[in-house]
Each structure stands twice: as C-alpha cells, then as structure tokens.
Amino acid sequence: MSQTAPQRATPRSPTIAITSTGLPIAISRRYNKVWTIILFCAIAVGAMIGVPLYGYVYHYSWLDWSLFGLLYVASGLGITVGYHRLMAHRSFDCPNWVKGALLIAGAWALQNSAIKWASDHLRHHAHCDEVKDPYNAQLGFWHSHCGWLFTPDQYADPKYATRVANDPVAIWQHQHYPLLVLTGLAGTFLIGFLHNGIMGGIGCFLLAGVGRTFAVLNSTFCINSVCHLWGQQPHGTSDSSRDSWLVSLVTFGEGYHNYHHMYPTDYRNGHRWYHFDPSKWLILGLYSLGLATSLRTGSYVEDSLTRTT
C-alpha cells in the first residue's frame, strides 16, 4: 500500500498584520524576543526569590494578600473571558466598554496584547500538535509550558490575526499595551505606599504585582502543557487536548480543554452544570444583565473550519 509523504511546513519570515487603520502589528516573536526574555526572567526571579525573601523578613499585610487575590481573579478572567472566549473564539458579544474592561484586565496578566495572543491561539487550534503549533506539546512539557516564548517563531501567519486586528477596542489595547501593563504593576506599589509607606509599597508590588503575575502566567501555561499531556479525552482524540478538573481550579474553568478543542466556539469550557467554570458564570452573569449577547454553544455538526475560528 502506498503512503503519501507528510507535508513539511515551510518556515515563514517574520510577518506583519495590518489593521483597518493602517497600524502595523508584529506577529512574529522575533521582533520582541529580547524583551520577552528580560520581562519573563525578571518576573520569575522576583517571584521565586524576592517575594519569599520579603515575606520572611517583613511579612505581608492583609492588603497585600487581598490585592493579590483580587488581581489574580481580575487578570485571570481578563485572559479566559476577554482574550480567549471573546476575542479569539467569538463565543459571545458585548458592548465595547465591557470588552475594553476585559482587555485592560487581560493586559495586567502580561501575556501580550489581545491581537497577538489570539493570533497564536488560533494557530494553535488550526495546527495542534504540528510543527506550526506555537505551543506544540509533542516537543515536551518545557516547550509547551513556557519554552516556546524563547523560541523564534518561524511559522507566524498574519491571517490568524486579521479578524482581531480589525477590532477597534483590540487596536486601542494593542497601542496602549505597555502603559496598561505598567499601570497594573505600578498601581500595586502606589496602593501599598498609600497604606503603609515605602516598605508597604514594595511589599504590595512584590506580592500583588510580581508574584500575582507569575502565578497567572503559570496557571495559563498549564493549559498549554498539562492539558495536552495528562488527563482524560472524553470528547475526542483528534489531538492531544485533555480535560483536567484540577487545572480548572486555578484557570477559572479552562482545564476542560478536550471539550474546548472539540467545540472551541462554545462560551463554556465546562459544559456540565457541575463543572467548575467561573469564566462561564461571568459570561452568564453579563448575559443576565443585558451586557452579553449571542452566546454560542457547541454543536456536533460543526465542521473543522467553523470549530477552529
């Protein structure tokens, strides 16, 4: 029996997406690799050394821990509801001011702008477990968890950014992304400073700023790594995606990843009523207030193209 030789992906040169306003947006990581390495390493070192060291010497206040929890929830939901289910998969619609609030919160997670995030994510769905998959779990846990951040992106394709790059709110967020990140970090210092002076500002910045960002980054990374390596596949085996209720506990419901890969436009990742999916609950809450419309649910007749985009 003859076999067809597998297609080999041809690396692309660094690419640029052009918005409807003519704004060029770099899609390839090659443009910001140095800054990515600097920021990630600074956050990692600060979280693993600075945060526990300060806590051991000075201790953290109730305000520090409260702000840590508040910002973890806000920035985490900004990613899961704003970046992921709204911008990447169009699982629901909402007014621009609600979208703007979600994208501001998402920027505080330090995971790039919604345009760049959605471009990588949609390519992941289109080429899951293939060489063009930016988080390819077939390359191991380290690569799919965070190693991909340090790898030159040879297969960036502007077509995956086209739709989001023409959204006016997403364009605004992309243009102001560095400022939004700065406000998320500097704001913690300011609040701590107002509460307890300079040391209060440092403590709040370390725990609610640096430590919280590190926690949200790694919880999100677990979806790309853990949920493609360990867990159950009750909804389909066409790719390596898996369900992990444990990951859902720290990612606001994103751990039901096998279901999501089979039905990516569904506003629910945990489709059963008893599944822990706070992202779904927030969308339903917005819907009940008239602030979300056109909630999409999975359909077994969806074709691969519809389910990808």
Q: Give the single-character DSSP code of 16.
A: E
302/41: higher pLDDT: 41
pTM of the predicted structure, to 2 decimals: 0.89
Helical ranges in 112-231 per DSSP H: 114-126, 141-145, 168-175, 177-204, 212-224
49/306: higher pLDDT: 49
The secondary element (H helix, E strand) that includes residue 24 is strand 24-26
On the question of pLDDT at 21 being above 60, the answer is: no
* Lowest-confidence pick of 12-26, 60-74, 191-205: 12-26
Q: What's the token pair of residue 168? A: 């006016």
On the question of pLDDT at 13 being above 60, the answer is: no
Can you give the pLDDT at residue 94?
A: 98
Alpha carbon distance 292, 172 (integer Å): 21
Can you give the pLDDT at residue 38?
A: 86
Alpha carbon distance 39, 159 (integer Å): 27
Domain count, the chain: 1
In sequence order, which residues have a C-beta less than 8 Å from that of residue 163 and are 6 or more positions away?
309
Confidence of residue 305 (pLDDT cuts 50, 70, 90): very low
Q: State mean pLDDT over 266-281.
A: 96
Q: State mean pLDDT over 220-225.
A: 97
Q: State mean pLDDT over 87-104.
A: 97
Confidence of residue 17 (pLDDT cuts 50, 70, 90): low
Residue 17 lies in a domain: no
pLDDT in tens, 35-91: 778 888 999 999 999 999 999 999 999 999 999 999 999 999 999 999 999 999 999
Residue 149 lies in a domain: yes
On the question of pLDDT at 25 being above 90, the answer is: no
Can you give the pLDDT at residue 169?
A: 97
Residue 1 lies in a domain: no
Residue 9 lies in a domain: no
Range of the domain at 250: 22-308
Residue 14 lies in a domain: no
Cβ atoms of residues 58 and 198 within 8 Å? no
Alpha carbon distance 308, 261 (integer Å): 8
Residue 229 lies in a domain: yes
Q: How far is CA 248 from CA 105, 144, 168, 297, in A?
A: 19, 18, 31, 19
Confidence of residue 33 (pLDDT cuts 50, 70, 90): low
On the question of pLDDT at 30 being above 70, the answer is: no
Give the CA-trace dihedral at 116, 117, 118, 120, to 10 degrees.
Answer: 80
Q: What's the token pair of residue 265? A: 């436009």
Can you give the pLDDT at residue 161?
A: 92
Question: What percentage of the chain has pLDDT greater than the value 70?
Answer: 86
Q: State mean pLDDT over 213-242.
A: 96
Alpha carbon distance 168, 176 (integer Å): 12
Phi-psi region of 62 (alpha: psi -120 to 50; beta: other; left: phi over 0): alpha
Alpha carbon distance 105, 71 (integer Å): 8
Can you give the pLDDT at residue 86?
A: 98
Can you give the pLDDT at residue 154?
A: 85
Cβ atoms of residues 83 and 100 within 8 Å? no
Alpha carbon distance 255, 242 (integer Å): 8
Residue 105 lies in a domain: yes
| Mean pLDDT for the chain overall | 89
Can you give the pLDDT at residue 302?
A: 37
Residue 110 lies in a domain: yes
Can you give the pLDDT at residue 3?
A: 38
Alpha carbon distance 257, 43 (integer Å): 27
Biggest CA–CA distance in the chain, Å, is 76
On the question of pLDDT at 19 being above 60, the answer is: no
Question: What percentage of the chain has pLDDT greater than the value 90?
Answer: 80
On the question of pLDDT at 199 being above 60, the answer is: yes
Confidence of residue 298 (pLDDT cuts 50, 70, 90): confident
On the question of pLDDT at 4 being above 70, the answer is: no
Can you give the pLDDT at residue 309?
A: 42
